[in-house]
C-alpha cells in the first residue's frame, strides 16, 4: 500500500494510522510468538506432569479463563511499557521522529495497537491454543477441562486493561530506561499515598481520630468491628474513584503521552 | 527552497547556533563546512524537524519542519553520519518505510543500489558502515523529497564508493530539489558543492559561490610569501602552502584548495572577506622571521 500525495496534507490520516499499526505488528510479531510459545510450553509441561493443561483448569479459585486473561493483560502491559521505545532509541530515534506521519498518528498507532489489536489477536490465539491443549488433554486421558472462550468477564477485564495500558503507554513516552518498572512503581506509589490519605481523612474527619485504627475490607471501613462509614458514603466514594480511574486517568495519560511524543527531539544521540 | 532567519539553538545555556540566517535555493548542492561542534549536524536536524529552535524561523518549501506535519517530513530526507537501519530485508524496508512517501521512486532506488554497488544481504542492518551509508543515500535520493540533507556522506566510503557517490549526487541535482551536504571531507566533494557555506561561532561566516572562488582565489606553494597577496598561509616542510588572491601575482595560482579556504575563513576571515569584496589586502602578518 502506498499513500496518496493528497493524504500528506491531512493532519490525521487513517491510511497512515493503518501503515503505522501494521509496521508495529510486524515488529512485535516475533515477541508475541515467543510469548505464545512460553504459554504453550508451560502447559505442555503440565500436560506431561499432571495430564492437564493448567491454563484451562476451572476451580473455585480460578474461574474459567483466569490464567488466559492474566497472561494477556500482563503481556499487553509489557507491550504498552515498550510501545514507544523507538522514540528514545539512541540510533533509530531520528528515523522514528522523521517518519512522515504526525506525532498524534504515531501515538494513536501505539494506542490502537496495544489497546485494541493486541487483545483481539491475543484472545484469538488464546482460544485456539486453549482448544488445542484441551484436545491434547482429552487424548492423553486428562480430565478434559473446558476450552477458554472470552465473555463478559473478559470484556470487563479489558476495560481495566485499557485504562492501565494508556498509563503504561504514557510511561513509555516519558521514560527511556525501564519504562514498565518505573511506570508500575509510580502507579503503586500513587495508589499507596492515595489509600493512606483516604484512610487518614476518614479516620480524622469521619471517625474522629485513629487511636483504635481503621481498616478497609470488602468495600467497607471498620474500626474494630464497627462499620464507620455509611454504605451510601462508600458508594459515593467508589463512584468518585471510578470516575477518576476510568475517565480522568486515561484522558490525562493520553494527553500527557501525546504531548511527550509531540515535544520529543533527537537530542538523545551523541552530538 | 529553505529559508532560515535568526536561528538560535543550543543543548545547554550557551547556544550552538546563534542568530544564523540562510537561504538555500533550488537546483543547488550546498556544502556546509565548520569545525567540530560548530552546529552543522544540529543545523541539519533543525532543518529536518528532528530538533526545534529556541528562537528564529525555518521554512522548507513554505512549511515549518518543526511542526512535523506529514507533508513537511515527506519532503525532507535526512541521512545521518551513521545511519541506522532496521533488521529487515531491502524489500521489507521499502514496504514498511517507502509507503509513507508517495513520491518514493522504487525503480530509481534499485538503479541507485546498482550504481552504488550495494549488496543485498538479509537483513540490511547487517551491512557494513559504508554499505549502510550508501543504502541510506540511495533511499534518500529516491525518496522524491525536495530537500536532501546529508551529514558527512563520504565518511567511511572507500575510494571507488566516493567516486560512485559523486556521480550519483551530481546526477541527483535538479531544479525541484535542494541538497545540503555537511562535510569535513571537502576534497571529496569540492567539484560538486556550490556554494560553500562556512559556519563559525554559531553564525554563517561565509557563503561563497564556486565562481567567486575560482575567479578571486587560488592556491600556491612558495618558499617565500613576498610579492603574493596572501589570504592565509600555512608552513610545512617544503615551504608555504598559501591561499592567495588571483589578481596580480596570484594570477597563475592553482585552483583554490577548499581546505585552505576553510582554514582561511576561520583564521583570517577579514582577509578572505576583503579579497571576496575586491578590497586591498594589508601585508600578510608572518610570525617569526620566516618571511
What per-residue confidence (pLDDT) applies to B291? 41
Residue A70 located in a structural domain: yes
CA B169 – CA B188 distance, rounded (Å): 12
CB atoms under 10 Å from CB of B25, counted, come to: 12
Burial class (CB within 10 angstroms; exposed 0-12, middle 13-18, buried 19+) of A62: middle
Tell me the range of A152-161, B19-28, B181-190 where mean pLDDT is highest.
Answer: B19-28
Closest-CA residue of B relative to A267 is B51
Number of helical H runs and strand E runs in chain B:
10, 13
Contacts of B157 (CB under 8 A, 6+ apart): B130, B133, B134, B165
Among all chains, which residue has been given the C-alpha cell 486473561? A69
pLDDT value at residue B216: 92
B28 to chain A, closest Cα gap in Å: 23
Question: What's the pLDDT at B290?
Answer: 45
At residue A270, does pLDDT exceed 90? no
pLDDT in tens, A122-159: 999 999 999 999 999 999 998 888 999 998 888 888 99
Q: Between B48, B84, B99, which is nearest A19 by CB?
A: B99
Cβ neighbours of A222 (radius 10 Å): 17
The pLDDT of B30-49, averaged and rounded, is 95
- pLDDT tens string B90-125: 999 999 999 999 999 999 999 999 999 998 877 999
Pairing, β B178-182 against β B147-151 = parallel
d(CA B74, CA A4): 12
In this predicted structure, the answer to whether residue B289 has a pLDDT above a threshold of 50 is: no
Domain with A140, as residue range(s), is 9-178+250-267
Q: Give, in degrees to the nearest 5, the angle at Cα A132 between A127 and A134.
A: 90
**Residue A106 pLDDT > 80, yes or no?**
yes
Q: Which of A54-63, B136-145, B210-219, B275-284 has the highest mean pLDDT?
A: B136-145
Give the pLDDT of residue A271.
42
Residue B211 confidence (pLDDT) above 70: yes
Helix ranges restricted to H, chain B: 40-48, 70-74, 90-97, 106-115, 129-141, 159-172, 186-189, 210-216, 258-267, 269-276
pLDDT, position B288: 52
- Residue A215 in domain: no
Predicted local confidence at residue A202, as pLDDT: 82
Contact assignment for B11 to A92 by CB distance below 8 Å? no
Q: Give the span between the Cα atoms of B137 and B163, in whole angstroms.
A: 14
> A180-202: per-residue pLDDT in tens?
999 999 999 999 998 888 888 88
Interface of chain B toward chain A, CB-CB under 8 angstroms: 11, 37, 41-42, 45, 48-52, 68-71, 73-74, 76, 78, 80, 82, 84, 86, 92, 96-104
CA distance A2 to A14: 13
Is pLDDT at B274 greater than 80 in this prediction?
yes
β pairing state of B29-34 and B196-200 = parallel
The confidence score (pLDDT) of residue B250 equals: 65
A40-67 average pLDDT score: 89
Residue with cell 494510522: A17
How many CB contacts within 8 angstroms connect chain A with chain B? 83
What is the domain count for chain A?
Answer: 1
Q: For position A96, what pLDDT does the model report?
A: 94
Higher pLDDT among residues A2 and B107, named by residue: B107
Query: What pLDDT is stored for residue B180 in this prediction?
Result: 97
A117 neighbors A25 (Cβ within 8 angstroms): yes
Question: What average pLDDT is seen over chain B?
Answer: 92
Q: Which of A41-55, B24-38, B102-116, B240-254 has the lowest mean pLDDT?
A: B240-254
In a domain, A200, yes or no: no
Mean predicted confidence (pLDDT) in A100-122: 97
- Residue A142, pLDDT score: 87
Which helix (H) or strand (E) covers residue B218, if one does?
strand B217-222
Determine which helix (DSSP H) or strand (DSSP E) holds A6, and give its type and residue range: helix A5-8
Whether A212 is covered by a domain: the verdict is no
pLDDT value for B283: 85
Query: Taking Cα atoms as reference points, which of B137, B156, B143 lies closest to residue B85?
Result: B137
Q: Which residues of A touch B99 (CB under 8 A)?
A: 1-3, 19
Query: Rounded distance, CA B2 to CA B71, Å?
Result: 15
A242 pLDDT more than 60: yes
Distance between CA B132 and CA B137 in Å, rounded?
Answer: 9
Residue A69's pLDDT is what? Answer: 93
CB of B23 closer than 8 Å to CB of B79:
no
Share the mean pLDDT of chain A.
Answer: 90
Q: How confident is residue A269, by pLDDT bands cut at 50, 70 and 90?
A: low
Given a cut of 70, whether residue B197 has pLDDT beyond it is yes
As for the ipTM of the complex, it is: 0.89
Query: β-strand B230-236 against B254-255: which pairing, if any?
Result: unpaired
Contacts of B78 in chain A (CB under 8 A): 94, 98
Number of residues assigned to chain B: 291
CB contact under 8 A, A92 and B86: yes
8 Å CB contact of B50 and A266:
yes
Please state the pTM of the whole predicted model. 0.90
Distance of alpha carbon B173 from alpha carbon B25, whole angstroms:
12
Longest dimension (CA), chain A: 71
- Asked whether residue B63 carries a pLDDT value surpassing 80, the answer given is yes
Q: Is the pLDDT of residue B287 over 70?
A: no
Please judge whether A26 and B96 are an interchain contact, meaning their C-beta atoms are less than 8 angstroms apart.
yes
Q: For chain B, what percent of residues have pLDDT higher than 70?
A: 98
Torsion of CA B206, B207, B213, B216, to 10 degrees: -60
Alpha helices in B106-231 (DSSP H): 106-115, 129-141, 159-172, 186-189, 210-216
Supply the pLDDT for residue A268.
Answer: 63
Does pLDDT of A236 surpass 80?
A: yes
* Residue A118: inside a domain: yes
Query: In this complex, do B70 and A7 lie within 8 Å of one another by their Cβ atoms?
Result: yes
Note the pLDDT of residue A46.
Answer: 95
Distance (Å, whole) CA B191 – CA B59: 28
Is A194 contained in some domain?
no
pLDDT tens for A80-103 read 999 999 999 888 899 999 999 999
**Would residue A225 count as lying in a domain?**
no
Place of cell 503440565: A46
Amino acid at each position: 500500500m502506498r499513500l496518496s500525495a493528497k493524504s500528506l496534507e491531512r493532519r490525521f490520516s487513517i491510511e497512515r494510522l493503518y501503515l503505522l499499526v501494521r509496521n508495529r505488528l510486524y515488529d512485535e510479531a516475533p515477541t508475541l510468538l515467543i510469548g505464545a510459545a512460553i504459554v504453550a510450553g508451560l502447559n505442555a509441561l503440565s500436560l506431561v506432569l499432571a495430564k492437564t493443561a493448567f491454563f484451562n483448569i476451572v476451580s473455585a479459585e480460578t474461574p474459567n479463563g483466569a490464567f488466559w486473561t492474566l497472561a494477556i493483560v500482563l503481556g499487553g502491559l509489557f507491550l504498552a511499557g515498550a510501545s514507544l521505545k523507538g522514540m528514545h532509541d539512541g540510533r533509530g530515534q531520528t528515523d522514528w521522529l522523521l517518519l512522515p506521519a504526525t506525532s498524534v498518528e504515531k501515538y494513536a498507532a501505539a494506542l490502537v495497537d496495544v489497546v485494541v489489536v493486541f487483545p483481539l489477536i491475543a484472545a484469538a490465539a488464546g482460544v485456539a491454543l486453549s482448544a488445542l491443549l484441551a484436545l491434547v488433554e482429552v487424548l492423553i486421558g486428562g480430565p478434559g477441562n473446558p476450552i477458554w472462550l472470552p465473555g463478559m468477564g473478559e470484556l470487563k477485564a479489558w476495560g481495566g486493561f485499557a485504562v492501565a495500558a494508556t498509563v503504561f503507554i504514557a510511561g513509555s513516552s516519558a521514560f527511556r530506561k525501564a519504562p514498565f518498572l518505573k511506570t508500575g512503581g509510580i502507579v503503586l506509589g500513587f495508589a499507596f499515598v492515595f489509600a493512606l490519605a483516604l484512610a487518614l481523612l476518614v479516620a480524622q474527619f469521619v471517625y474522629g481520630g485513629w487511636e483504635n485504627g481503621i481498616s478497609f475490607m470488602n468495600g467497607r471501613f471498620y474500626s474494630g468491628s464497627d462499620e464507620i462509614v455509611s454504605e451510601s458514603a462508600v458508594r459515593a466514594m467508589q463512584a468518585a474513584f471510578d470516575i477518576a480511574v476510568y475517565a480522568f486517568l486515561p484522558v490525562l495519560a493520553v494527553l500527557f503521552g501525546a504531548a511527550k511524543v509531540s515535544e520529543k527531539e533527537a537530542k538523545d544521540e551523541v552530538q | 527552497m529553505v529559508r532560515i532567519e535568526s536561528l538560535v539553538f543550543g543543548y545547554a545555556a550557551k547556544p550552538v547556533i546563534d542568530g544564523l540566517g540562510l537561504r538555500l535555493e533550488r537546483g543547488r548542492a550546498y556544502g556546509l563546512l565548520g569545525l567540530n561542534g560548530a552546529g552543522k549536524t544540529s543545523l541539519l536536524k533543525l532543518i529536518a524537524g528532528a530538533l526545534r529552535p529556541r528562537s528564529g524561523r525555518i521554512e522548507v518549501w513554505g512549511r515549518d519542519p518543526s511542526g512535523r506535519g506529514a507533508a513537511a517530513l515527506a519532503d525532507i530526507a535526512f541521512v545521518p553520519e551513521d545511519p541506522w537501519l532496521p533488521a529487515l530485508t531491502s524489500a521489507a524496508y521499502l514496504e514498511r518505510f517507502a509507503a509513507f512517501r508517495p513520491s518514493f521512486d522504487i525503480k530509481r532506488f534499485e538503479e541507485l543500489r546498482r550504481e552504488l554497488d550495494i549488496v543485498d544481504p538479509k537483513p540490511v542492518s547487517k551491512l557494513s558502515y559504508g554499505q549502510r551509508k550508501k543504502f541510506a543515500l540511495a533511499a534518500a535520493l529516491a525518496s522524491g523529497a525536495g530537500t536532501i540533507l546529508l551529514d558527512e556522506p563520504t565518511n567511511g566510503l572507500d575510494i571507488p564508493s566516493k567516486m560512485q557517490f559523486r556521480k550519483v549526487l551530481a546526477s541527483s541535482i535538479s531544479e525541484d530539489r535542494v541538497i545540503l551536504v555537511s562535510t569535513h571531507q571537502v576534497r571529496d566533494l569540492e567539484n560538486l558543492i556550490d556554494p560553500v557555506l562556512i559556519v563559525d561561532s554559531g553564525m554563517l561566516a561565509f557563503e561563497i559561490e564556486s565562481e567567486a572562488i575560482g575567479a578571486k582565489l587560488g592556491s600556491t606553494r612558495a618558499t617565500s610569501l613576498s610579492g603574493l597577496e596572501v589570504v592565509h598561509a600555512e608552513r610545512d616542510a617544503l615551504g608555504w602552502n598559501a591561499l592567495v588572491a588571483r589578481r596580480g601575482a596570484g594570477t597563475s595560482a592553482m585552483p583554490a584548495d577548499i581546505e585552505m579556504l576553510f582554514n582561511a575563513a576561520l583564521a583570517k576571515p577579514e582577509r578572505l572577506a576583503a579579497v571576496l569584496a575586491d578590497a586591498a589586502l594589508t601585508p600578510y602578518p608572518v610570525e617569526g622571521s620566516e618571511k
